[in-house]
Amino acid sequence: MNRIGIFFGTETGTTRLIAKKIHKKLGDDIAAKPLNVNRIALDDMLRYEALILGTPSYGIGEIPGRSAGCLEPNWEEFLAQFESADFSGKRVALFGLGAQERYSDRFASSLLRLYEVFKGFGAEIVGSWPTDGYTFDHSAAIVDGRFVGLVIDARTQGM
Protein backbone atom coordinates (compact mmCIF):
# COMPACT_ATOMS: atom_id res chain seq x y z
CA MET A 1 0.00 0.00 0.00
CA ASN A 2 1.16 3.53 -0.73
CA ARG A 3 2.32 5.41 2.34
CA ILE A 4 1.24 8.88 1.20
CA GLY A 5 -2.27 9.97 0.28
CA ILE A 6 -2.69 13.05 -1.90
CA PHE A 7 -5.98 14.92 -1.57
CA PHE A 8 -7.16 18.19 -3.01
CA GLY A 9 -10.12 20.48 -3.38
CA THR A 10 -10.67 22.31 -6.66
CA GLU A 11 -13.27 24.17 -8.63
CA THR A 12 -11.36 25.02 -11.81
CA GLY A 13 -9.01 22.02 -11.92
CA THR A 14 -5.73 23.84 -11.30
CA THR A 15 -5.19 22.34 -7.84
CA ARG A 16 -5.87 18.90 -9.32
CA LEU A 17 -3.16 19.47 -11.94
CA ILE A 18 -0.64 20.43 -9.25
CA ALA A 19 -1.62 17.35 -7.19
CA LYS A 20 -1.03 15.17 -10.26
CA LYS A 21 2.42 16.75 -10.79
CA ILE A 22 3.33 16.01 -7.17
CA HIS A 23 2.16 12.41 -7.58
CA LYS A 24 4.17 11.99 -10.77
CA LYS A 25 7.35 13.22 -9.01
CA LEU A 26 6.83 10.87 -6.06
CA GLY A 27 5.73 7.84 -8.09
CA ASP A 28 3.16 5.11 -7.52
CA ASP A 29 5.34 3.20 -5.05
CA ILE A 30 5.33 6.11 -2.62
CA ALA A 31 2.07 7.98 -3.20
CA ALA A 32 -1.46 7.05 -4.15
CA LYS A 33 -3.15 8.77 -7.06
CA PRO A 34 -4.59 12.14 -6.02
CA LEU A 35 -8.23 12.20 -4.96
CA ASN A 36 -10.71 15.07 -4.86
CA VAL A 37 -12.15 15.58 -1.37
CA ASN A 38 -15.63 15.77 -2.87
CA ARG A 39 -15.35 12.07 -3.77
CA ILE A 40 -14.04 10.56 -0.54
CA ALA A 41 -14.99 9.82 3.05
CA LEU A 42 -12.86 10.64 6.08
CA ASP A 43 -11.78 6.98 6.41
CA ASP A 44 -10.21 7.16 2.94
CA MET A 45 -7.82 9.78 4.26
CA LEU A 46 -7.15 8.19 7.65
CA ARG A 47 -5.67 5.01 6.18
CA TYR A 48 -2.46 6.74 5.09
CA GLU A 49 0.67 7.33 7.20
CA ALA A 50 1.22 10.74 5.62
CA LEU A 51 -0.88 13.18 3.63
CA ILE A 52 -0.30 15.88 1.05
CA LEU A 53 -3.26 18.25 0.94
CA GLY A 54 -3.93 20.98 -1.59
CA THR A 55 -6.37 23.87 -1.76
CA PRO A 56 -6.97 27.02 -3.75
CA SER A 57 -8.11 30.22 -2.03
CA TYR A 58 -11.54 31.76 -2.61
CA GLY A 59 -13.16 35.05 -1.72
CA ILE A 60 -11.34 36.65 1.18
CA GLY A 61 -8.95 33.72 1.55
CA GLU A 62 -11.55 31.06 2.26
CA ILE A 63 -11.26 27.36 1.59
CA PRO A 64 -13.40 26.29 -1.36
CA GLY A 65 -16.95 25.24 -0.63
CA ARG A 66 -20.56 26.12 -1.26
CA SER A 67 -20.46 29.21 0.97
CA ALA A 68 -17.56 30.52 -1.16
CA GLY A 69 -19.64 30.08 -4.32
CA CYS A 70 -18.40 26.67 -5.47
CA LEU A 71 -20.87 24.58 -7.42
CA GLU A 72 -19.71 21.24 -6.02
CA PRO A 73 -18.92 20.15 -2.45
CA ASN A 74 -15.31 20.88 -1.56
CA TRP A 75 -13.01 21.31 1.47
CA GLU A 76 -15.65 23.19 3.44
CA GLU A 77 -18.09 20.29 3.23
CA PHE A 78 -15.40 17.63 3.71
CA LEU A 79 -14.07 19.24 6.90
CA ALA A 80 -17.60 19.18 8.33
CA GLN A 81 -17.09 15.39 8.86
CA PHE A 82 -14.31 16.03 11.40
CA GLU A 83 -16.31 15.79 14.65
CA SER A 84 -13.94 13.36 16.34
CA ALA A 85 -11.26 12.71 13.73
CA ASP A 86 -7.85 11.67 15.03
CA PHE A 87 -4.82 12.49 12.92
CA SER A 88 -2.34 11.81 15.73
CA GLY A 89 0.86 10.30 14.36
CA LYS A 90 0.12 11.45 10.82
CA ARG A 91 2.43 13.80 8.98
CA VAL A 92 0.66 16.34 6.79
CA ALA A 93 2.21 18.54 4.11
CA LEU A 94 0.14 21.34 2.60
CA PHE A 95 0.13 23.17 -0.69
CA GLY A 96 -2.04 26.10 -1.63
CA LEU A 97 -2.76 28.07 -4.76
CA GLY A 98 -3.18 31.81 -4.86
CA ALA A 99 -2.72 34.85 -7.07
CA GLN A 100 -0.09 37.10 -5.51
CA GLU A 101 -0.75 40.06 -7.81
CA ARG A 102 -4.54 39.91 -8.05
CA TYR A 103 -5.16 39.00 -4.40
CA SER A 104 -2.08 40.52 -2.79
CA ASP A 105 -3.98 41.38 0.40
CA ARG A 106 -4.98 37.74 1.08
CA PHE A 107 -2.50 35.65 -0.90
CA ALA A 108 -3.13 31.90 -0.43
CA SER A 109 -4.75 32.58 2.94
CA SER A 110 -7.01 29.51 2.81
CA LEU A 111 -3.98 27.36 3.56
CA LEU A 112 -4.16 28.52 7.17
CA ARG A 113 -7.58 26.88 7.58
CA LEU A 114 -6.25 23.46 6.58
CA TYR A 115 -3.23 23.99 8.83
CA GLU A 116 -5.40 24.85 11.83
CA VAL A 117 -7.92 22.05 11.29
CA PHE A 118 -5.43 19.24 10.78
CA LYS A 119 -3.10 20.44 13.52
CA GLY A 120 -6.12 20.74 15.82
CA PHE A 121 -6.94 17.08 15.19
CA GLY A 122 -3.43 15.95 16.07
CA ALA A 123 -1.53 15.97 12.77
CA GLU A 124 2.12 16.95 12.59
CA ILE A 125 2.32 19.65 9.92
CA VAL A 126 5.55 19.41 7.91
CA GLY A 127 7.05 21.36 5.03
CA SER A 128 6.74 25.07 5.78
CA TRP A 129 7.89 27.26 2.91
CA PRO A 130 9.83 30.56 2.80
CA THR A 131 8.05 33.75 1.76
CA ASP A 132 11.08 34.93 -0.22
CA GLY A 133 10.47 35.38 -3.94
CA TYR A 134 6.79 36.22 -3.63
CA THR A 135 5.28 39.69 -4.00
CA PHE A 136 2.20 40.24 -1.84
CA ASP A 137 0.92 42.51 0.92
CA HIS A 138 -0.60 39.97 3.32
CA SER A 139 -1.23 36.26 3.76
CA ALA A 140 -2.91 34.60 6.74
CA ALA A 141 -0.98 31.43 5.82
CA ILE A 142 2.23 32.67 7.44
CA VAL A 143 3.25 31.25 10.83
CA ASP A 144 6.61 32.09 12.37
CA GLY A 145 7.63 33.99 9.23
CA ARG A 146 7.03 31.11 6.80
CA PHE A 147 4.10 29.83 4.78
CA VAL A 148 2.50 26.81 6.47
CA GLY A 149 3.00 24.87 3.22
CA LEU A 150 4.13 25.22 -0.36
CA VAL A 151 2.42 28.20 -1.99
CA ILE A 152 1.97 28.25 -5.76
CA ASP A 153 0.87 31.06 -8.02
CA ALA A 154 0.19 29.06 -11.17
CA ARG A 155 -0.07 32.17 -13.31
CA THR A 156 3.15 33.95 -12.35
CA GLN A 157 5.19 30.82 -11.63
CA GLY A 158 4.37 29.20 -14.96
CA MET A 159 2.77 26.02 -13.70
Tens-digit pLDDT profile for residues 96-136: 998 887 878 888 899 999 999 999 999 999 999 999 988 99
- Report the distance separating Cα 128 and Cα 154, nearest Å: 19
Domain 4-152, what fold?
A: Rossmann fold (3.40.50)
DSSP letter string, 3-16: SEEEEE--SSSHHH
Say if CB 24 and CB 54 are below 8 A apart.
no
pLDDT digit string (tens) for 19-46?
999 999 999 999 999 999 999 999 999 9
Using a cut of 0.85, tell me whether the model's pTM lies above it: yes
- DSSP character at residue 62: B
Predicted pLDDT of residue 100: 82
**157: Cβ contacts below 8 Å, ≥ 6 apart:** none
Domain boundaries, the chain: 4-152
Q: Please, what's the largest Cα pairwise distance for the chain? A: 43
